[in-house]
Chains A and B, each alone.
Chain A
């Protein structure tokens, strides 16, 4: 099945509709600062991720709700099926 974005009518219009300006550097830096804060919290044993890390690809009992919801690529959105509908399509 040929499914490259450029191969169907309207693809350029569609891509143009999705064009957005790059974020300001300060926005990216601010988001990274929040990440650093979480990292520091873990290193100091005070953050939400400060419990013993799980082996990649596996879950732990102590992982917390966020980890259970969002562990690994296939589970990134498993909490919410596509469009809120039936995940089986």
Chain B
């Protein structure tokens, strides 16, 4: 299978339809990213925008990056931000907290409402920057280095944010487990 970078480069050099294969490879993942953060309906609407923007921007893609996922997630992230801005035009600007808070549907996605509350509250308590790295790794299955590309930060920054996020989450969930054990004994 040809790397994404080869296909994107080819699409920028006279064979634009080569880009469609890149979209096919990643469409479910990108839709999932959008759906987890903005809901399924919005994801349905926004996916096309991601492809059109990515296609338009492909001329600047560095073909040295074989896997296009970080680049596509970065574009999807910007599409989401604009979605939040335009869907709540009268709201005070708090994009970091608003757009990066993907928890509305979590109760529906976990079997236990109690588990959902515990996870949601633990992750919500994280600083937005740490939460974003954590969710890119946990939900999108990116490596810390790939998450750094999505966010446009140095790898070391992404790694340290991830480390702090995991430590905080571990602490909160451990305390919860300890409380439950204390109640049950």
Contacts and interface: CB of A to CB of B under 8 A. Distances in A.
Q: Does B bind A?
A: yes
Nearest to A7: B166
B57 A34 contact: no
Interface string B166-185: 10011001100000000000
B137 A56 contact: no
Contacts of A81: 151-153
Contact of B54 (A8, A19, A70, A84): A70
The interface centre, meaning the residue of A8, A20, A75, A82 with most chain B CB atoms within 10 A of its CB, is: A82
Contact of B9 (A20, A28, A56): A56
Interface class of chain B by DSSP: helix
A5 B151 contact: no
B16 interface: yes
Contact of B119 (A17, A34, A66): A17
Given A66-B53, A75-B74, A76-B72, A28 B109 contact: no
Interface residues of A, number: 67
Contact of A54 (B35, B49, B59, B106): B59
Contacts of B31: 22-23, 27-28, 31
B116 A64 contact: no
B96 A85 contact: yes
A79 B152 CA distance: 8
B59 A56 contact: yes
Contact of A20 (B40, B61, B74): B40
Q: Which 7 A-B pairs have the closest CB atoms?
A: A76-B74, A71-B60, A84-B96, A89-B157, A83-B128, A54-B59, A18-B139
